[in-house]
Structure 1
Amino acid sequence: MQVLEKIIPIFVFLLIGYFFKVKKFISEKTLEELKKFIINITLPALLFNAFLEMEIRTEYWIIVVTIFSVNLIMLLLGKAVSPYFGVSDPYFPLLFTGFEVGMLGIPLFGAIYGLEKVRYIALMDLGQELYVWFVLMAILYYLNQRTTNYTWLIKKFFSSPIIIAIILGLIINIASLKIIISQNFFLRGLLETLTLLSEVTIPLILIIIGYEIKLSWGDFRLPLKIIALRTVCLLLLAIFINNFLFNPFLQLDLIFHIALYSLIILPPPFIIPLFISKENTQPYILNTLSLGTVITIILFTLLSLYYQTFL
C-alpha cells in the first residue's frame, strides 16, 4: 500500500499536465521555458546532491562500462534487425538504444523511492551519458551534417549543466570536501538552496510529461514491434547483469537491481527527433517515443508494486 501511495502522485501530476494542455492553462512557449529551467537549474541541482551523497566505490566503474556496453549491443541489434522490419531509415537503429533518464527515469524513480535514492539510477546514467554524448549524438550529427565534429561534442559535453553538476558532485565527494561545507554557514546555505531546487524537479517534469504525451494517429504496429523487441532484449540483458555481475561479483544491494530494471524499461532519449530535420522525421519515430513513455509508466508501476515486498 505504501508504494501505491507514492504512485498516485505520479498520475496526479501527469493529469495536471494534461489538464494544463486541454485548458490551455500554460502555453507551449512557457513549457519550453520550464524545460530550460529544469535542464539548466533544477535537474543539475538534483544530480549534484545525488553524487555528493553517493558512496564512491572503485567497482562502480564496472557499472558505467556495463551500461555503455549495453547501449552499444542494442545499437548493433537495431542495425541487424532493420532489414527484417522492412525499414531503410538510418535513424531506425537508434530507437533500440539509449534511455531517457533525465526527463523520465529520475522523476519516476525519485517519486517512488525518494530523492535520497536517486543516486542509484544516476549512477546507471553515467554510462548512458557517455554513450549519448559520444556515440548517439555523433551518429545523429553525422546523419544530419554528413560529418562528425568531436571537438564540438566534447565542448558541448563539458559545458552541459548536468555534466558539470555530476563532475562537481563527484570531485567534492571524492576529495571529502563535504566537511568544509558543513563547517561554513554560507556553503551550508548554498547546499540547502540546491536541495530546495532539486525538490521541485520531479513534480515539474511529470507535469511536462503529462502535457506533452501525444500520439500521431497512424499505424502503431511498427512502434509496438520496436518497443516489444527492445524491451525483451534489454530485460534479458538486465537479468544476466543482475545475476552474474551485480549479485555474485559486485555484491550490490537490491536497490541497484531495481535501478537497472528501472533504466532498461525507459524509452529512447527524447533528443533523437531534435537532430532530425522535419522533412526526415518519420511518424513512427515520434510514436515510438510517445508510446514508449506511456508503456514505461505502466511497467514502472508494475515493477514498483512487485518490489515493494522486498524493500
Structure 2
Amino acid sequence: MKAAAAILPVVFMLGLGCFARKMKILSEEQNGGIKKLIFTLLLPILVFNATFTMNIDPKYIKITGFMFILQCVTLLAGYGAFRLIKTDYSHVSPYLMTTIEGGNAFYPLYIGLVGAGFSSYFVLLDVPGIFIVFLVFPMIIARKTSESAGFASMMRNVYTNPVICGLIAGILLNVTGVSAAFARTGVYEAYCALADAATAPIAPLILFTLGYSFSLGRDNLAPMLITLAVRLVLMGCGIAVAFMLFPWILEDAQLRIAVILFMMSPPAFATPIILEKLYKKGSDGQYCSTYISLHMLVTVIAFALIAVFTA
C-alpha cells in the first residue's frame, strides 16, 4: 500500500497533464505559463528555503563535488563513445550523457517517495548540473562554433537565473549564521508555514506539465535506444562509484534513494535549447526532446521499482 501511495499520485498527475493536452483544456502557451511560474518563482523559493534552513555538513558537500566531476566525466565518456558508435545524431548525443533534470523530473518523484522534508538532498545533487548547463555547455558550444565565449555574457546568464539567485542567497545567509539566528526568533514558525505553502504546489504542477508535454514517436528510435543504453551504463557506474567513495550513503535511506533516482533521471530539459547552435539538420532538436521523453519513461519505471522495494 505504501508503494501504491507513492506511485498513484505521480501517475495521476502525469495522466491529468496528458488528458489536458488531448482534450485541449490548456494551450501550449498556457502550459508554458505554468512552467514559467514554477521556474521563475516557486522553484527559486524552494531552493532558497532548502539552502537557508539546511545543516551544511562538509561530508554532504563532497557529494556535490562528486556530482560535478561525474557529469564532466560522463560528457567526456560520451565524446569517446559516440566516436566509436556512429549514428545520425552522434554530434549531439554526447551532451545527452550528462546533466540531470533535478527540478522537473527528479524532485517531484523524490518528494513522492520521502516527503518534502528532504529537499536539501535535491539541492546538493542538482547544483552541479545547473552550472554545467548554463556555464560549461555555452563555453563548449562557443568553442565548437568558433564564436567568442563571451564570459561576461555567460556569467550574466548564470547569475540572473532565479534558481541560482535563490541558491546563492540561501547559502550566504546560512554560512553567515543569519539562518541560525532567525530560527531562534518568534517569526520563524510563520516563515516555515509560508515556505511550505509556496513550495507545496511545485511537485504536482511539475508532474502535470510533464504529462502535458510528453511525446514519444517511433522515428529515430534505434539511435535513441543506443544513446539511452550508453547513458544508463555511465550513470550506473556513477551510482556504484558514489557508494564506494561514500559508503555512509548506504546508511541513510533517503540519501540512498536520492542518489539512485537522481542518476536515473533524464538530461536537463533545457538541453535541446542550449544545443541549438550545434544542430546540423532540422530533426536534431526533435531528437533531443524526444530522447528526454523516452528517458523520462525509464525514470518513472525506476521510481516505481524504488517505491515497491522500499515499501
Residue number in structure 2 paired with 1:99: 100
Residue number in structure 2 paired with 1:79: 79
Residue number in structure 2 paired with 1:38: 38
Cα separation, partners in 2 of 1:240 and 1:176, compared to 1, 3 Å: same
Q: Which amino acid aligns with 1:102?
A: G
* Mapped partners of 1:151, 1:281: distance in 2: 32
* Mapped partners of 2:200, 2:184: distance in 1: 20
Residue number in structure 2 paired with 1:262: 261
Count of matched residue positions in the alignment of Structure 1 and Structure 2 = 305
CA RMSD of aligned residues (A): 2.2
Q: Secondary structure at 1:269's aligned position in 2?
A: coil
Of 83-92 and 29-38, the range deviating more from structure 2: 83-92
Residue number in structure 1 paired with 2:230: 229
Residue number in structure 1 paired with 2:272: 273
- Equivalent of residue 309 in structure 2, options 303, 306, 310: 306
Residue number in structure 2 paired with 1:90: 91
Runs of at least 5 residues in structure 1 that lack an aligned partner in the other structure: none
Residue number in structure 2 paired with 1:212: 213
Of the two structures, which has the highest relative contact order with CA contacts closer than 8 Å and spacing of 6 or more?
2
- Equivalent of residue 287 in structure 2, options 277, 284, 287: 284
Equivalent residues in 2 for 1:17-56, closer than 5 Å: 17-56=17-56
Write out per-residue CA displacement over residues 104-123 of structure 1, whole angstroms, 9 at most, x where no aligned residue: 11111112211111211221
* Mapped partners of 1:212, 1:9: distance in 2: 18
* Mapped partners of 1:195, 1:9: distance in 2: 19
TM-score (norm 2): 0.90
Please state how far the C-alpha of 1:302 moved relative to its aligned partner: 0.8
Please state how far the C-alpha of 1:257 moved relative to its aligned partner: 2.0
Please state how far the C-alpha of 1:13 moved relative to its aligned partner: 0.3
Of 292-301 and 138-147, the range deviating more from structure 2: 138-147
Q: Percent identical across equivalent pairs?
A: 24
Whether contact under 8 Å (2:42, 2:199) holds in the other structure is yes
Residue number in structure 1 paired with 2:165: 164
Cα separation, partners in 2 of 1:144 and 1:43, compared to 1, 3 Å: farther
* Mapped partners of 1:297, 1:114: distance in 2: 17
Residue number in structure 1 paired with 2:66: 66
Q: Secondary structure at 1:31's aligned position in 2?
A: helix
